[in-house]
Amino acid sequence: MVSCPFCNMDDTRILARNQVAFAVRDKFPVNPGHTLVIPWRHVASWFETTEDERTGILSLLDQSKAELDAARDPPHGYNLGVNMGEAAGQTVIHLHVHLIPRYRGDVEDPRGGVRHVVPERGNYLLDPSHMSGQSDV
Protein backbone atom coordinates (compact mmCIF):
# COMPACT_ATOMS: atom_id res chain seq x y z
CA MET A 1 0.00 0.00 0.00
CA VAL A 2 2.22 2.78 -1.30
CA SER A 3 -0.28 5.57 -0.54
CA CYS A 4 -1.03 4.41 3.01
CA PRO A 5 0.77 6.62 5.56
CA PHE A 6 0.66 3.85 8.16
CA CYS A 7 2.15 1.21 5.86
CA ASN A 8 5.03 3.61 5.18
CA MET A 9 5.57 4.91 8.71
CA ASP A 10 8.82 6.72 9.43
CA ASP A 11 10.56 4.41 11.90
CA THR A 12 11.74 7.37 14.00
CA ARG A 13 8.09 8.18 14.91
CA ILE A 14 7.43 4.77 16.45
CA LEU A 15 7.19 4.97 20.26
CA ALA A 16 6.54 1.29 20.94
CA ARG A 17 6.11 -1.86 18.92
CA ASN A 18 5.43 -5.54 19.10
CA GLN A 19 5.06 -8.32 16.52
CA VAL A 20 1.64 -7.17 15.31
CA ALA A 21 1.33 -3.43 15.95
CA PHE A 22 3.06 -0.15 16.75
CA ALA A 23 2.28 3.11 18.56
CA VAL A 24 2.92 6.68 17.38
CA ARG A 25 1.81 10.14 18.43
CA ASP A 26 -1.00 11.52 16.30
CA LYS A 27 0.24 14.16 13.83
CA PHE A 28 -2.89 16.21 14.54
CA PRO A 29 -3.43 15.63 18.28
CA VAL A 30 -6.71 16.41 19.98
CA ASN A 31 -4.78 16.78 23.26
CA PRO A 32 -1.13 16.39 24.29
CA GLY A 33 -0.14 12.73 24.25
CA HIS A 34 -2.78 11.69 21.68
CA THR A 35 -1.50 8.30 20.52
CA LEU A 36 -2.41 5.95 17.68
CA VAL A 37 -1.95 2.20 17.89
CA ILE A 38 -1.79 0.64 14.43
CA PRO A 39 -1.47 -2.95 13.23
CA TRP A 40 1.46 -3.66 10.92
CA ARG A 41 -0.87 -5.56 8.59
CA HIS A 42 -2.99 -3.34 6.36
CA VAL A 43 -6.59 -3.93 7.45
CA ALA A 44 -9.41 -1.41 7.39
CA SER A 45 -11.30 -2.27 10.58
CA TRP A 46 -11.11 -3.84 14.00
CA PHE A 47 -13.36 -6.62 12.74
CA GLU A 48 -10.73 -7.71 10.19
CA THR A 49 -8.01 -8.21 12.81
CA THR A 50 -6.94 -11.55 14.17
CA GLU A 51 -7.12 -12.44 17.84
CA ASP A 52 -3.34 -12.03 18.06
CA GLU A 53 -3.55 -8.57 16.49
CA ARG A 54 -6.27 -7.50 18.92
CA THR A 55 -4.21 -8.74 21.85
CA GLY A 56 -1.12 -6.91 20.58
CA ILE A 57 -3.03 -3.68 19.99
CA LEU A 58 -4.54 -3.82 23.48
CA SER A 59 -1.11 -4.47 24.97
CA LEU A 60 0.30 -1.35 23.28
CA LEU A 61 -2.71 0.68 24.43
CA ASP A 62 -1.98 -0.40 28.02
CA GLN A 63 1.73 0.42 27.61
CA SER A 64 0.99 3.83 26.07
CA LYS A 65 -1.48 4.69 28.82
CA ALA A 66 1.03 3.68 31.52
CA GLU A 67 3.65 5.97 29.95
CA LEU A 68 1.21 8.89 29.82
CA ASP A 69 0.15 8.22 33.42
CA ALA A 70 3.81 8.44 34.48
CA ALA A 71 4.25 11.88 32.88
CA ARG A 72 4.81 15.03 34.92
CA ASP A 73 1.24 16.21 34.22
CA PRO A 74 -0.69 12.97 33.72
CA PRO A 75 -4.11 12.96 32.09
CA HIS A 76 -7.24 12.93 34.23
CA GLY A 77 -9.02 10.49 31.91
CA TYR A 78 -8.96 8.90 28.46
CA ASN A 79 -11.09 8.25 25.42
CA LEU A 80 -10.48 5.28 23.14
CA GLY A 81 -11.78 5.58 19.61
CA VAL A 82 -11.86 3.65 16.37
CA ASN A 83 -13.42 5.04 13.20
CA MET A 84 -14.48 2.27 10.86
CA GLY A 85 -15.79 3.25 7.47
CA GLU A 86 -16.32 6.55 5.74
CA ALA A 87 -19.70 7.09 7.43
CA ALA A 88 -17.93 6.84 10.80
CA GLY A 89 -15.32 9.41 9.81
CA GLN A 90 -12.45 7.11 8.85
CA THR A 91 -10.10 9.01 6.53
CA VAL A 92 -7.07 6.68 6.55
CA ILE A 93 -8.40 3.27 5.59
CA HIS A 94 -5.91 1.38 7.75
CA LEU A 95 -7.13 0.51 11.24
CA HIS A 96 -5.81 2.80 13.96
CA VAL A 97 -7.00 3.04 17.54
CA HIS A 98 -6.94 6.50 19.11
CA LEU A 99 -5.85 6.82 22.74
CA ILE A 100 -6.87 10.37 23.60
CA PRO A 101 -5.74 11.77 26.95
CA ARG A 102 -8.33 13.98 28.62
CA TYR A 103 -7.68 16.81 31.02
CA ARG A 104 -10.05 18.62 33.34
CA GLY A 105 -11.30 21.70 31.54
CA ASP A 106 -10.28 20.63 28.02
CA VAL A 107 -13.95 20.98 27.05
CA GLU A 108 -16.72 22.81 28.84
CA ASP A 109 -18.83 19.70 29.55
CA PRO A 110 -17.21 16.33 28.89
CA ARG A 111 -20.26 14.29 29.84
CA GLY A 112 -21.20 11.88 27.11
CA GLY A 113 -17.61 11.46 25.89
CA VAL A 114 -17.52 9.37 22.74
CA ARG A 115 -21.28 9.71 22.38
CA HIS A 116 -20.57 13.14 20.88
CA VAL A 117 -19.66 11.62 17.53
CA VAL A 118 -23.27 12.58 16.81
CA PRO A 119 -23.20 15.98 18.58
CA GLU A 120 -26.94 16.61 18.81
CA ARG A 121 -27.42 13.28 20.60
CA GLY A 122 -24.27 13.18 22.71
CA ASN A 123 -25.45 14.54 26.03
CA TYR A 124 -28.54 12.51 26.89
CA LEU A 125 -28.64 14.27 30.26
CA LEU A 126 -29.57 17.58 28.59
CA ASP A 127 -32.33 16.22 26.34
CA PRO A 128 -33.34 12.64 26.99
CA SER A 129 -36.46 12.99 24.79
CA HIS A 130 -34.85 11.09 21.93
CA MET A 131 -34.40 8.06 24.18
CA SER A 132 -37.08 5.39 24.09
CA GLY A 133 -37.01 4.87 27.83
CA GLN A 134 -33.98 2.64 27.41
CA SER A 135 -30.55 3.57 28.65
CA ASP A 136 -27.14 2.01 28.09
CA VAL A 137 -25.53 3.80 31.04
DSSP element (H, E) containing 35: strand 35-39
87 & 114 share domain:
no
Catalytic amino acids? Answer: 96
Q: Note whether 120 and 98 are same-domain residues.
A: no
Tell whether 73 is covered by a domain: yes
Looking at the fold, whether 90 and 130 belong to one and the same domain comes out as no
Enclosing domain of residue 42: 11-106
- Are residues 80 and 99 both part of a single domain? yes
Phi first, then psi: give them for residue 18, nearest 5 degrees: -145, -165
From first to last of the 137 residues of the chain, give the pLDDT tens digit.
458 999 999 999 999 999 999 999 999 999 999 999 999 999 999 999 999 999 999 999 999 999 999 999 999 999 999 999 999 999 999 999 999 999 999 999 898 888 888 777 666 666 655 555 555 55
Q: Is 4 among the domain residues?
A: no
Please check whether residue 78 lies inside any domain of the structure: yes
Which of helix, strand or coil describes residue 57? Answer: helix
pTM here? 0.88
DSSP state of 60: H
